Structure formats: structure tokens, C-alpha cells
Amino acid sequence: MAQKFVYFFGNGHAEGRADMKNLLGGKGANLAEMTSIGLPVPPGFTISTEVCTEFYKNDSNYPPTLADEVAVHLAQVEALMERKFGDPANPLLVSVRSGARASMPGMMDTVLNLGLNDITVQGIINQSGDERFAYDAYRRFVQMYSDVVMGMDKHLLEHLLEQKKDARGVHLDTDLSAGDWKDLVAAFKAQIKEELGVAFPEDPMDQLWGAIGAVFGSWMNQRAITYRRLNNIPAEWGTAVNVQSMVYGNMGDDCATGVAFTRDPSTGENYFYGEYLVNAQGEDVVAGIRTPQPINRAKATTLPPMEEVMPECYRQLDSIRTILETHYKDMQDIEFTIEKGKLFMLQTRNGKRTAPAAIKIAVDMVAEGLIDQRTAVKRVAPEQLDQLLHPSLDPKAVKNIIAKGLPASPGAVSGTVVFTADEAESEAKTGRKVILVRIETSPEDIHGMHAAQGILTARGGMTSHAAVVARGMGKCCVAGCGDIKVDYANQCFTTRGGVVVKKGDMITLDGTLGEVMLGAVPTVSAELTGDFGTLMAWVDGIRRLKVRTNADTPHDAKVARQFGAEGIGLCRTEHMFFDAERIAAVREMILADDIEGRELALAKILPMQKSDFIGLFREMKGLPVTIRLLDPPLHEFLPQEEKDIVELCKTMKVPVSALKHKIETLHEFNPMLGHRGCRLGITFPEIYNMQVTAIMEAACELVKNEGFSIVPEIMIPLIATVKELSVLKQNAVAICDVTIARYGVKVEYLIGTMIELPRAALTADEIAVEAEFFSFGTNDLTQTTFGLSRDDAGKFLPFYVDNNILPEDPFVSLDQNGVGKLVKMACELGRATRPNIKLGICGEHGGDPSSVIFCHKVGLDYVSCSPFRVPIARLAAAHAVLDEK
Amino acid sequence: MAQKFVYFFGNGHAEGRADMKNLLGGKGANLAEMTSIGLPVPPGFTISTEVCTEFYKNDSNYPPTLADEVAVHLAQVEALMERKFGDPANPLLVSVRSGARASMPGMMDTVLNLGLNDITVQGIINQSGDERFAYDAYRRFVQMYSDVVMGMDKHLLEHLLEQKKDARGVHLDTDLSAGDWKDLVAAFKAQIKEELGVAFPEDPMDQLWGAIGAVFGSWMNQRAITYRRLNNIPAEWGTAVNVQSMVYGNMGDDCATGVAFTRDPSTGENYFYGEYLVNAQGEDVVAGIRTPQPINRAKATTLPPMEEVMPECYRQLDSIRTILETHYKDMQDIEFTIEKGKLFMLQTRNGKRTAPAAIKIAVDMVAEGLIDQRTAVKRVAPEQLDQLLHPSLDPKAVKNIIAKGLPASPGAVSGTVVFTADEAESEAKTGRKVILVRIETSPEDIHGMHAAQGILTARGGMTSHAAVVARGMGKCCVAGCGDIKVDYANQCFTTRGGVVVKKGDMITLDGTLGEVMLGAVPTVSAELTGDFGTLMAWVDGIRRLKVRTNADTPHDAKVARQFGAEGIGLCRTEHMFFDAERIAAVREMILADDIEGRELALAKILPMQKSDFIGLFREMKGLPVTIRLLDPPLHEFLPQEEKDIVELCKTMKVPVSALKHKIETLHEFNPMLGHRGCRLGITFPEIYNMQVTAIMEAACELVKNEGFSIVPEIMIPLIATVKELSVLKQNAVAICDVTIARYGVKVEYLIGTMIELPRAALTADEIAVEAEFFSFGTNDLTQTTFGLSRDDAGKFLPFYVDNNILPEDPFVSLDQNGVGKLVKMACELGRATRPNIKLGICGEHGGDPSSVIFCHKVGLDYVSCSPFRVPIARLAAAHAVLDEK
């Protein structure tokens, strides 16, 4: 038996099903499904995706049996419709549409009214009794077919149409008569012949095969190829072709066309939401020339709704709504047409929705018994939650966008512009809301970033200092805004468009879109509704991965706990060093010439660090807390600007030359690859000793005085060799044990390491001999694996992503092929040495859904991310479990 | 039968053999071997290394059978010597020595004269008839035993000895009488008792077991543990103990002691080379108090040689020389003692030798039929060759060393000091020899480095710019000389010791030792003797790895060819950009605002690059040449100093602000991880297009006009993803094919990539789809794998190596565990995709012997290194083959 290539649907029977999307495309599969469940679908047939594959395999030839199969199925349609394709008296007209598994820009989309020619048009006049309708349909067909099938420049035909209207002295298409359209059909054909050198096909079968060929041909056009490459869609998938008998919403006032959602796609409310137009074709609803009317009075309306204008059809449509939801068990996006009082369904598919709608629909449908909790959880995309967790601009507000940058940290805020961290702090103290604008930020700006509502930087990428810190704080940030030029001297910035914004001017940032607006744009605040809580409880019941947070302060920790964090995966102790009262002691330590001097300065920092840790431990109430010892190079703590150097020397009472010499000595060509992380701990053991003392004293005091149960996790950064870790672990263990003995309490602790250098991942089996846990620092691991500085990548990384040299920014979504290979290897090697080793991730990727799913797959114990991304990570972790089925 | 732990040797029979080093240690195995082949060795026995292992396994207890075994073997010795251990009348005295597989500092070494006490000393007086000799031996024994066995502070006893000499009013030990020594023995014992609280053991058996215990105990002392850790010697190896009857070279003028080499260890000449002292103990020869006399008249001497003083003994020793060389088939380092006219052999081992000696001995021994060519090749250590290939300081010259830095590039040169590259060039043009002294060098200094005899820098490590470029040029360089402070303003540098060296002062550099000397120190130049050529021919017959060179100029290429390079593995095209007449066009290109401007500037560079390549191809006469396209970030081509910026702006007729803005725009935080390598090629395709055009035009012209056969290898640097390579390869192929068609010739070419980022190694299977060859850039691969900037590592890397956190500088010797794992993985992945892919290495490691052996093992096709290291790599490659057996 020959392979079957064509699948019929019509009159309650279909050869296809909804789950045959791979073979029939999304559109064809759903047309078949709707037909099978008894919905009124104009009959037709689908030529399967396998034909497309065969076509390209065989040098653009169709399978030999195809023509016969199409003929047989066409005859079935003719029989049902009681019309004949190409028949002069009672012709059948069809639409031809492409239909891949996923909709694909660049593909040929639709040809309507196919089958018309100078003879069959008379048949349509007979059928409809409306000459103007028939010629209007005919000219639309010629325009559409010549454009998408023949490659005619459509503006040439539109130009003829404009000429005709001018000649007739009218403005609207609707003012043209049947005769005008008839003239235009002839004129169009002449122009096509002249332009393309071939005549417009008159034979309906030629037209049909032309359209089918155009669909298959468009599968390999450049735009489609590019789209597939960008979205990793294999060329072998192919497209299907749907041939369906035409129905008309524009044959009179008993005709209509419309689109609807089975629930409100913005809010998720459970009512029938849709629009329709009387006497119109589908394209008119979206064209925006006429204002579509609502289908019902679910929301207030002044326009007459369909439920009143065509009550019978509405009743039928409303019952179809229920049938579809019950059948598909999801909110549907449908298209329908009413021809002379008879309702036809042209399309159904799962409807797109906002984040709040997604959650409400999912939770409601569980309550309605339509779906189970696991399905509900799958219905919400983790990334969508981001919309919910931050305030956003009022969608109705007018926006005066003056610049665009990177959407570095979501949310929307307004404030007056300041240019220094100190100003931000002092202004904020007076209760003013400010936006801190910097060319780029450094750790010294932290207090200003804290004080500001939002941060705008001219330089730096999605993982620049400003972006990382802002996301950590859950603070709105637009980074790398190359559209602005910051002039500190004159306290202003100028946009590419020439707008000058001075200190004190009000601006608004949209960190979700990366937009900068002049003036204050109203915002609406986030609301974590009851549905959100319900859904997240289901999420937590499903996921295996724990979700921790990256938090440096009790405040961050508290926010993260509210978002459901189950511990701290990364506390960066250096951020505590920048506090105004501490930085002096830190600098004293750096400037000291000998170990005694350094220890003297460190002794001043010890009680402060200890109180930090007490605060964190208290906030986390016994949940695990991973504390990373000092990581950045020491020069980050010294000023770089002449003015600041002079000032500091005054305060510290040291000669300017001494400080300058120190700064020069500490200068590094590649600080990212320099004297930092555990290399500081090795060369200046007193620094880590102080930090470990502070951690253990904090833990011991809480255990002793407040009965806490704490297992501090001490994390040593930038390990490249097991030797580094064994030396530092030995020091740390000695201090821990002495401290514990001093307090006379029992406190357990873990000592582990970041895996953030390729060498650490490659030798993880050796490192696991010493490390009790690994935490993958995928920011630095990405930098070193790619040889890519995230601070400098702005010059070429956007070009790389735009040109698909990289599928996406590897600092945002983990590069699973390269960096991920190292992570996987390290997990396997680490577990081989120490089967119960604790594995986590604390890079920014810990809050990226696809990266979280990867982390689940390689078997990590937890991910850690910024507080505002904790719910996203929780949801992604649940998806990871559900994806396993 | 109980396990055998003790091995006897004496009187022509031995239970051990030379190949039992693992069991008996090096010393014990050779004593046994010499005994077996009939040489006169004082009898004794060896306690095997297994006892050491058992000792530590069983809580510091000896195997129960050991005491009996020792007693049995001691009795055998007594029988042969016709003396009895501890016998008052005719006592046997023994030496006790440790003997591991390899000699190990920190181990207990030797106790002589063991068995003496107040009673047996009388027996020795009887035997020798020399009371003074007997008491001298006794006091030496007490001193030595109390020091190494009992842990007595030896200075306390030396102090008593000084007091005695003062009391007697004499200066030399030899002026003390028998009575004096006898007094001292008593005084020593009293002091030992007082100091340690235990009496000096009188019972000879107690002495013996004390000494044996001290040897085993010292295996686990801190110094020995550290040494083993540093040298990867397992603790399980253990040490052996040798107990041997004493013989005396100091019993009168018919006694002597000496050391000898069977050939001259400095030159390799085949004559008997040695020194001896009449009436002396072994330690006297090396102590330097008396001047040892030569053993013969092979070299002119004024001192009476042994061959005249003791002709019979000399004759016997000379015949032993022949026996040993014939037996061991290698040059031997021997120790002997003559007691009352009777010769005894105390040690033989393979002798250490200089590089010229190693070569001469190896080649001579092949001619003499002693060894085969393969053995001869193994006898020369690759690293030794470095001594041969550069001039070196006259060993007899006086050196006034004023500073020490890193031995960055070997050789020795003198010249007057200059502080800028321009001065170096202009001075050199007048025929003056100059040393270029810089704080650090940059690519702009290349012309000055070329002009100078040698380079001295205050900053930077073994792989700093200065070091790398100097090694590439085969030019002497001392880098990172922290002992000097360079003052450009006053045109001088000051050493830590306060010496001020001004411009024009003469200094000498020893790049092999890292020394800086005041004044001109005479040098001796390298000589590649006939033996060298002979050996290298054998080397080439053995090795499988090809050896190419890193060369950027025809001159470098020529030198490398003389050293045996078989192609160019890395031509860095950017070095060609720094030439004075080109840099202007390069800068014009960088400053251009658009592609047209850049192309205009590139068009000026094209003919110059083309002529470079023609020069290289001509020099290499059809051998493969790999050309790397532009690699460094563009800012390296712009000046950084204010003065230079202003000057350049004048020349280029651009406003200072424009140039400064460009410099600011190009600034990078981590240039190593920045906009360089193929990232330039992607964002500015016109640069690579020009370079590929230049390469192919050069090749086509030579093929067309001179009938060359050339297959240029175009290498694209810093690939992280296959996508980068496929884009750039497509561009390059288009240009190559157009160029070839334009010349109407047939030229093949290869397009490949550096593997220098971890991600490239991890995804080598993907990259090999496009790459026709891989060249491992292990410098950058080491930087990224370790997260270690070689420019900044100077602040902690030396500390790491000193403290054994890293076994060695990973930029010098490939880190096989980490970086090597990536190399191996990439080879396997690459070959899986493209079985015939060409694999090479062009990092500095290509000239490091252990790294070359690693490259052989992972199956690379070639290594590429700086010209002066080509012979080293060739020899290492041959060793790699020989090691496989």
C-alpha cells in the first residue's frame, strides 16, 4: 500500500487528530480535531509534512501518488459541499494555508478564494446573488495569489487600485462598484503579465498546485531558514498544507467574522472574551479600519454585542467555547466566521496570556476539575513570574522614551537624577526618590545604589557590576545605555536624540524593557495574590531542587525568605567591607606594611563582620547559610580618582605618595585573572582567619545564647588546585575548632569551595577530597571557559547574539554545551570521590529557568539566586521534574 | 620460610644486584654489584627497604626475624674480616649509611667508626699501632653518632674542641695529640649526658641498633617528608640501611682516599679524571682544607699524581675504571680508599656531567661499541641542550653581581644601558652593543629589543611580554628584576644594594641564571660540535613528533631552520604590524570611523604583509607555515602616554580629543578576555580579509613565478564556538578561491584554529567539523583554565611555587592534570569528528621537555617552539619514543 500523504476532515469525520501535529502541523491537527468532536468546520484536507520532506529529498518533486490523493480528497470536499472545484455554474472555492508544527515567520501564509477565474466568478455571482461580492473576492484572490505565489510586487497592484479610486473620486474600497472591481481584475492581470512575463493562471487546478508549491517552496526561503536556525528547528520537520473550502463572513449582514478567547487572556477571568465584525472578512478584524464589537456584555460596552445581534450564533459559539475547553483542557484562542447565519470554526489553539492570567487560569481550572495540579504548574512559564514580582508601568500611561539600554534588573521606578552615590544617599535621607546615573558603577557606589530607587548606567552588560548588584537588591536597573553620554563635570547626561537631562530632573526607568523616560510615569505595584500562593505551594510539592538565595544583608535575606528561599547559597562578605565605617579599617589593612599592621586593622573589622553574620543567621532561622570568604582583588577597595586619593590620604594621615605607590603596586592588567579569591587567603592568611573567626563566633554565640541550630558553610572562592583548598581548609578548621572550644558549645560546620575555574571542574575529583560542598560560580566559570570578560563583552557580545554566533548571552542562560559540560563533569568527578558531596550553583544562572532545569538534570542539590528570582527558580525546578515524564 | 630482609656482600659474592635498587637502595645495590664482579669492596650487608615499610606499618617495630638475620650477616662479615664486632682485642668497626632509591636530603646520612668504646679503642690501637689514630677515630665517632643518632647540638662539642685547642695553644686539629683526643672523648660524653640526660651508648650492639633506628626514623622526619612531597616520591618506597666494615685512608702515608670520574665530567673527554689525598678520610677530600692531588698526568699538574705516588694502586684503580665502564656502560662517579697499600671501592654511581660532556660521552660510547644509538640519545637530558645553544659567561671570569631577576631567556651578553627602544635602535646603528632596560616592555618596544643585545625588565614574569619575545628572538633576557628601580626621568636604575647605573654604563646579563653584573664579563660562544650533529641525527631517526618553530620574520625562520625546524607552527602577524612604517597605517585603520576608512588603511598594509609572507615562504622552502590572523586587542597599537598621544596626533593630523576618545572607547578591564582574536575578525571582517589576501597572493606568486610548492595554513585565533569559525572560514575560503583563480594557479591551503580557550577544547568535536587543524595555544589555555593572568601572576605565583601549592610554573611546564586534560579531550573529540585532523601545539610549552613528552603521548603531530628551543624539543620528542619501551 502506498504511503498516505493526505488527511481529510469534514462533516464530523477526520483522518487526523490534535496529537498529530508533527504530521499535520498545528493548524491541520486542530481542524481535524474540531471536526471529529462535531464542531462546524468547513471541510478540507491536509497535505502532510512528510510531503515537504519528500519534496526536498527528491529534487523538488512530489511523491508520485500525491496528485491522485489530492484529487480523491478534493472530490470528497466537493461531495460534502455539493459544489465542484472549477465548475462554471456552482464552483467550489478553497483557501490554501501553510501549517508547520510551530508557526513560523517567513513562510507563505494564506491564499483565499482560490479557484476563481473569469468563468467561475459567474458561478459565485449565481451562488451569492451578489456581483460586487464576487468581483471583490476575485480581485482579492488575484492580489493575494500574485503576491505570495507568483512573487509580484504588491504595491504595483495597490497603485492601480488607488488610481481607480482617484478616477472614481472616492476614498474607500467599499465605494467601488462591481464593475470597478471587474475592471481592476483585468488591469491587475495585465500588469502581472507585463511585470512577470507570465500570465496569471486561469485553470483552478493550476492555481491549486501553484499555491501548494508556494507553501513548500517557502519552507526553504531565506527568512524561514534563518528563523529555524535561530530557533533550532530542524529542516526535516517540514510544513503541512491545508486546503479548505471557503466560507464568507462578508456576504451580507447575516454574515460576520471574529476572534475570541475562552477566558480573558489579560486577567484570566473566566468569561468569554472576544470581538467580531458583521459583514467582514477575517483580515478586517485585525486591520483596524472598523472597530470590532465585543461578543457579549461580560464587560461594559456601548457597541451592540454579538449575543444581542446574532443571539443564536452566539449561543452556539458559547457552547463551542465550553466544548473546546472541556476537550482541550486549556484556554483557547479561536477564529470563527458566520456565513448567512451559519457558524463555522476556522481555527483553535491554546491562547497566549499574561502572567497573572496564566496563574489564575491554571488555579481555576484545577478548582473546576479540568486539570490536575501538576498540569497547572506546567501552564505557567517561570520567566513570566518576573512580571509579577516587581512594580510595572501603568500600561495606560503615556511614555516619553528618550533612551534605551539593557533591561538589567526588572521593575519600574521614577525619581530625580543624581550622579554620585553620596548624593543619592543624602537626597534619599531627605525623603526624595532618586535615580543614580553613572557611566558605570563600582563597589564604592553600593550605598548609593541602596539609597536610589533605580540605577542607570551608560556602560556595562547584563552582568556588569550595576546589573548584578541591582538584581541582587531587586532594584530596577537599566545598564549599558549607550544612548546616553554622561557628563559628570556639568552634572548632566545627553541622549543620542539631544535631550539634556540635568541633576534634579525627573526620569522614569523601566528595567523590564530597558527604557528611559522623561518625567514620572505612573506605575502599578506587584501583588502576590492568593492564586500565586496556591500555585507556588503545588510547585514546592513537586520540585526536588532546593532554592536558596544570594544575600549579603539581613534585609535581602528577609525579602528572599518571603519569596520562599530555603537558605543562603551565597553571602558575599566583601560587600560588607564597603560600608562607610568599615572601609577605613579595610584600607588601613591594605596599606599596612606587615602582618602585625594587617592584623591590627582586621581586629577592628572582626566585630562588625560578626554582627553581620549574627543578623543573617537570625534571619535564616537555622536554614543553611553559605558564606564566601573575601573574593575581589584588594585594589577594588582603594580609590582610583586623584581627588579621592588626596582626600583619603588626609583622613588616613598617610602621604599621598605612599597611597599612590600602593595603588600602583596593586594595579593589575587582568584583575579578573589576578590576585583575588583564595589567592588572597593564601598570601594573606590573616584575612581569612579573621573572617572564619567572625563566622564561628557568630554561630557559637547564637547556639549558646539563643539555642539556634546552625551549620555554617564556609566557602573558599577561586580554587584552581586541591592544594590551595587543603592549605586554607587546614587553617579554617583550626580556627573553627578553637572557637568552638572557646565557647564550649557543639557547632558543626562545612568547608567547601566555589567551582568557578575550568581547572577546578576538571580536577573536581581531587578537590572533593577536601571540599565538603561545591557551589558552581557560573559567572566566573563562563568568563574563563569562554575567555570572555563580562565587563568588556559589551563591545561584541550583542553583535554575536544578534548574528546568532551565540544563541544567547551566556551570562544570562548557561551555555550547556560548553560551560555545562564542565559543570556536569565536576558533579560526576566530585561524587565519585565523595558520594554525599553537597552540590549547588550560585552564579546568576541560578535564577534562569532553562539553567535551573539543567541544574536539576545534572543532579545539583540546590540553586541559589537573587531574592526576586527565587519564585522563578522554584517554578523552573518543578518544571524540571515534570519534564522528566 | 621467613621473608629475607638482609643481603650480604663481600669477598666476590653478593646476594644483591645493581638492578635491585628498589629493594636495596642505590648505594646498596651498587656495593653488591661491585662485589659480584670481583672488585675489592669492604664486606658488609644491606637491610632492605621492606624493613622500613614494615617498621612504619607495625608501629615502629622491626620484623621479629630481623635481629637474628643481622646477627648472622654480621658474623659473616666478622669471619671475612677476621675481626669481631665489640671484641676488645681485635674489634670490627663498621659504617652505617642510609640508601634510598634516590638520594634524599634530610635523611640520616652516615655514621663511621661504629663499634668503638673505651675498651675496643684499645683493640684499634693494637691493630693500627697508632694511638692517636685510634682516639681520633673514636672522637669522630662520638661526634657523628651524637649528632645524627642522638640529636645532640653539634656546636656544643665543637666548642669543647676549640677550647681544647686554645688550651693547647694550637690552631689545627692535627696538632692535637692522642691524649688530647682521649680527653675530648671523655669531655664529649660528659657533655652529651648533661645535655641529653642519657649516656652515650657503650655497647657496640646498642650503637648499631641505634644507628639503624636513626636511619629508619629519619625517613619520616619533616625535611624528608617535604622533599618526597616536592618530588612525588611515595612514602612506601622506604630506605635501606647499609652496614659495612670500615677501611681507613688515614692510617699513614701508605693510605689514601679519593673520588674519580671514569671520564671528564666537564668536557666528556675519555680519560681518567679524579683527585685523591694521602693519609686522609673521605670527608677531607671535599672539606677543602688540604688541596687534593690529581690521580694522573692526563692534565698538566704541579702536584704529584697518584699514578706516580702509588703506581700499583693506580694501575689497579685504572683497570677498575675499565671494568666499571664496561659493566655499567656509562660514565661512573666512584669513591675509593687505600688502606695500607690496599685499594677498596666504597661507591660507584652514574656520574653527573655537563651538556657538552653528556653529548661527547654518549657519542664516544657508541663509537666504542659500549652502547647503541638509542641509549646514547637517552643519556642527554633535553633541558641540558639549552647550555649549548647560547653564549655563556666565561666560567673563569670575575662577576660583580648587582641584582638578580628571572632567568627569562638564556645566554650571556654585555652592553651599555639604554632606557628606550628608540635609543636602542639608534645606538645599535652606530655599532654600539646595548642592553635595553625597561620597567616592562610592550609591543611598541619590539624594534628596540631587536636592536639590543639583551633585555632587562623590572616587572613581569617568565611569560611576560619581554620574556616571550626575547625567547622567540633567542635573545638574552632577565625579567621581573625586582632588585632594580628604574627611573626613566633621570635615565638610570638603582639596585636594592644602592648601586646606581646610568645610561651608557656597561652591564652584563646572564639570562640563564637571571643575574645582572656591573661591567663587561667575558663570554664564550656556543659551538654546535660534530658530536652534537651526530647525536641530533640519531634523535631525528627516533622521534615521531615533528618540531616546528614559532617565527615571525625570515631571520627567525632561518635561525630555526639551522636548528632543525621542520616548519613554522606559529607566525604572529601582529608583530609585523609594529614596524615603524606600518604602525601608522594600522593606527589609521583603528581610528577610521567606517569600513571604507578601514579598508583604505588596510590597503596600505596589504603589500607589506604580502612581502613578509613571501619572505617567510621562501625561507621555509615548501615546509608547512601556519599563519595566525590578527590576535591582540586594537588598543595595543595605540600609545598610552600623554606625550606619545600628542605626538601621534601631530603626525596623523587628528585632534588629540579624537584619539583620546578612541583610546578610552577601546579601554578594557580585562584585555586578555576582551575584544581580540577572532572577535576582531567577526566584528571587522575587513582586517582578516586583508590578511588572507596577503597570504594567498604571496603563496600564488611564489607558486606561479618560482615554482614553489606551498600549502599555507591559515589559523584563526581565540575560537570559543564553532559558529565563529564557520563564519570566518567561509569568508577566508571565498577570498582564497578568488585569489587562486586570479593567479590561475593551483594552490592548496588549510584553515584551522587555535585551541586556546577551555570552551574550544570542550567542544572540539563541533569545531573539528570546520577546522582542518588544531594548534593548542597553551599559554592562553593555561591562563583561562587556571583563571590566571600571566602578566599579574608575579604577585603570588612565585609564592605558590615556593610553597609547593603548585609543583611548578604552569606557564613553563604544562599542567598535565588540568590543562593537559583539556588538550587530551580536545584531541580525542577532534579526531572523532575528523580522523585525519592535524594536531599541534604552539604555546611556549612546545619547547619544554616534559610538555613535549606529554604532546607525544596524546598523539599530537607536531610541537612548535622558539627557534633556540627546537633542538631541545627534537631531543625530548625522541625521549618520548624511547620512554614507551
Model confidence pLDDT, tens digit, residues B171-188: 888 889 999 999 999 999
Chain-centre distance for alpha carbon A120: 49
Mean pLDDT over B141-159 rounds to: 93
pLDDT at A374: 97
Give the helix/strand (H/E) hosting A754: strand A750-755
Could you tell me the pLDDT band of residue A230, with boundaries at 50, 70 and 90?
A: low
Q: How many CB pairs under 8 A join A and B?
A: 164
Give the whole-angstrom CA distance, residue A261 versus residue A267. Answer: 12
The secondary structure of A626-651, three-state, reads EEECCCCCHHHHCCCCHHHHHHHHHH
Give the whole-angstrom CA distance, residue B160 versus residue B163. Answer: 5
Q: Which of B477, B492, B842, B865 is catalytic?
A: B842
Mean pLDDT over A855-868 rounds to: 96
B756 in contact with chain A, both atoms CB, cutoff 8 A: yes
Q: What is the pLDDT of residues A757-768, one digit of tens each?
A: 999 999 999 999
Please say if the pLDDT value at position B401 is more than 60: yes
Q: Where are the beta strands (DSSP E) in B38-77?
A: 44-47
Mean pLDDT over B724-738 rounds to: 96
Q: What is the pLDDT of residues B87-115, one digit of tens each?
A: 999 999 999 999 988 777 667 778 999 99
3-class DSSP state of A404 = strand
A220: CB partners within 8 A, 6+ apart: A56, A235
Q: Which of B59-63, B234-238, B651-655, B760-764 holds the top average pLDDT?
A: B760-764
Measure B788 CA to nearest chain A CA, in Å.
Answer: 5
- ipTM, two decimals, is 0.82
Measure A782 CA to nearest chain B CA, in Å.
Answer: 9
pLDDT at A106: 67
Q: What is the pLDDT of residues A98-116, one digit of tens each?
A: 998 877 766 777 899 999 9
Report angle CA A787, A791, A793 to the nearest 5 degrees.
55
A780 in contact with chain B, both atoms CB, cutoff 8 A: yes
A774-A779-A782-A787 Cα dihedral, nearest 10 degrees: -120
Please say if the pLDDT value at position A482 is more than 80: yes
Could you tell me the pLDDT band of residue A319, with boundaries at 50, 70 and 90?
A: very high
Give the helix/strand (H/E) hosting B160: helix B154-168
pLDDT at A386: 80
Contacts of B466 in chain A (CB under 8 A): none
pLDDT at B576: 82
For every residue of A367-401, DSSP letters joined together read HTTSS-HHHHHHTS-GGGHHHHHS-EE-TTS---E
Contacts of A662 in chain B (CB under 8 A): none
Asked if B12 contacts B42 with a C-beta cutoff of 8 angstroms, the reply is no
Give the ranges where B707-807 is alpha helix by DSSP (H). Answer: 722-743, 758-762, 764-767, 778-786, 797-802
Which residue's C-alpha cell is 652534537? B532
B56 in contact with chain A, both atoms CB, cutoff 8 A: no
A805 in contact with chain B, both atoms CB, cutoff 8 A: yes
- What is the bridge-based pairing of β-strands B110-114 and B94-99? antiparallel
Name the packing angle between helices B178-196 and B154-168 (round to 10°): 140
Could you tell me the pLDDT band of residue A281, with boundaries at 50, 70 and 90?
A: confident
Indicate yes or no: CB of A718 within 8 angstroms of CB of B786. no
Mean pLDDT over A605-616 rounds to: 94
* Positive/negative CA dihedral, A12, A18, A20, A21: positive
Nearest C-alpha neighbor of A221 from the set A232, A211, A235: A235
Phi-psi region of B405 (alpha: psi -120 to 50; beta: other; left: phi over 0): beta
* pTM for the model: 0.82
Could you tell me the pLDDT band of residue A174, with boundaries at 50, 70 and 90?
A: confident
Give the ranges where B299-352 is alpha helix by DSSP (H). Answer: 306-309, 311-328
B792 in contact with chain A, both atoms CB, cutoff 8 A: yes
Q: In residues, how long is chain B?
A: 885
Asked if B758 contacts B720 with a C-beta cutoff of 8 angstroms, the reply is no
Q: How many CB atoms lie within 10 A of CB B489?
A: 6
A756 in contact with chain B, both atoms CB, cutoff 8 A: yes
The least confident of A622-626, B90-94, B554-558, B573-577 is B573-577
Measure A221 CA to nearest chain B CA, in Å.
Answer: 20
Please say if the pLDDT value at position B525 is more than 80: no
Give the whole-angstrom CA distance, residue A704 versus residue B126. Answer: 79
Give the whole-angstrom CA distance, residue A243 versus residue A457. Answer: 54
Indicate yes or no: CB of A673 within 8 angstroms of CB of B675. no
pLDDT at B593: 84
Give the whole-angstrom CA distance, residue B880 versus residue B136. Answer: 53
Q: Which three cell numbers stand for residue A68?
A: 491522485
Indicate yes or no: CB of A785 within 8 angstroms of CB of B723. no
Q: What is the pLDDT of residues B845-873, one digit of tens each?
A: 999 999 999 999 999 999 999 998 999 99
Give the whole-angstrom CA distance, residue A447 versus residue A418. Answer: 13
- What is the bridge-based pairing of β-strands A713-716 and A625-628? parallel
Give the ranges where A197-248 is alpha helix by DSSP (H). Answer: 204-218, 222-230
Indicate yes or no: CB of B796 within 8 angstroms of CB of A723. no
Q: Which three cell numbers stand for residue A492?
A: 548632566
Please say if the pLDDT value at position B605 is more than 70: yes
Asked if A398 contacts A515 with a C-beta cutoff of 8 angstroms, the reply is no
B792: CB partners within 8 A, 6+ apart: A668, A669, A670, A671, A673, A674, A675
Mean pLDDT over A414-439 rounds to: 92
A824 in contact with chain B, both atoms CB, cutoff 8 A: no
Give the whole-angstrom CA distance, residue B115 versus residue B90. Answer: 11
Indicate yes or no: CB of A796 within 8 angstroms of CB of B720. no
Which residue's C-alpha cell is 699524581? B305
Environment class of A879 (CB within 10 Å of its CB; exposed 0-12, middle 13-18, buried 19+): buried
B706: CB partners within 8 A, 6+ apart: B618
> In the 8-state DSSP scheme, what is residue A444?
G
The values of phi and psi at residue A295, to 5°, are: -85, -15
For every residue of B785-845, DSSP letters joined together read HHT--TTTGGGTHHHHHHTTSSSS-TTTS--TTTHHHHHHHHHHHHHHH-TT-EEEE-SGG
Q: Where are the beta strands (DSSP E) in B352-442?
A: 392-393, 401-404, 406-409, 412-418, 434-438
Q: What is the pLDDT of residues B322-353, one digit of tens each?
A: 999 999 999 999 999 999 999 999 999 998 88
By 3-state DSSP, what share of chain A in percent is helix, strand and coil, each rounded to 5?
50, 15, 35
Indicate yes or no: CB of B796 within 8 angstroms of CB of A669. no
B783 in contact with chain A, both atoms CB, cutoff 8 A: yes
pLDDT at A471: 74
Could you tell me the pLDDT band of residue B224, with boundaries at 50, 70 and 90?
A: confident
Please say if the pLDDT value at position B438 is more than 70: yes
Give the whole-angstrom CA distance, residue A834 versus residue A830. Answer: 6
Whole-number average pLDDT of chain B: 92
Asked if A49 contacts A24 with a C-beta cutoff of 8 angstroms, the reply is yes
Q: Which of A355-364, B433-442, B760-769 holds the top average pLDDT?
A: B760-769
Q: What is the pLDDT of residues B686-699, one digit of tens each?
A: 999 999 999 999 99
Asked if B240 contacts B23 with a C-beta cutoff of 8 angstroms, the reply is yes
Higher pLDDT, B654 or A443: B654
Please say if the pLDDT value at position B150 is more than 80: yes
pLDDT at B529: 63
Contacts of A670 in chain B (CB under 8 A): 670-673, 789, 791-792
Give the whole-angstrom CA distance, residue B72 versus residue B55. Answer: 20
pLDDT at B620: 94
B248: CB partners within 8 A, 6+ apart: B128, B133, B137, B255, B281, B337, B339
Chain A residue whose CA is closest to B758: A785
pLDDT at A600: 94
Chain B residue whose CA is closest to A680: B796
B176: CB partners within 8 A, 6+ apart: B164, B165, B168, B170, B184
Which residue's C-alpha cell is 580525542? B828
Asked if B847 contacts B869 with a C-beta cutoff of 8 angstroms, the reply is yes
Indicate yes or no: CB of B762 within 8 angstroms of CB of A818. yes
Could you tell me the pLDDT band of residue A804, with boundaries at 50, 70 and 90?
A: confident
Please say if the pLDDT value at position A473 is more than 80: no
Asked if B241 contacts B212 with a C-beta cutoff of 8 angstroms, the reply is yes
A597 in contact with chain B, both atoms CB, cutoff 8 A: no
pLDDT at B575: 79
Asked if B502 contacts B492 with a C-beta cutoff of 8 angstroms, the reply is yes
Nearest Cβ partner of B720 from A675, A723, A787? A787
> In the 8-state DSSP scheme, what is residue A276?
E
Indicate yes or no: CB of A792 within 8 angstroms of CB of B675. yes
Indicate yes or no: CB of B791 within 8 angstroms of CB of A766. no
Mean pLDDT over B206-232 rounds to: 86
Which string of b and e fits B742-756 if b means at least 16 CB within 10 Å? ebeeebebebbbbbb
Give the whole-angstrom CA distance, residue A33 versus residue A714. Answer: 58
Mean pLDDT over A529-534 rounds to: 87
The least confident of A312-316, A407-411, B471-475 is B471-475
pLDDT > 90: what percent of chain A?
73
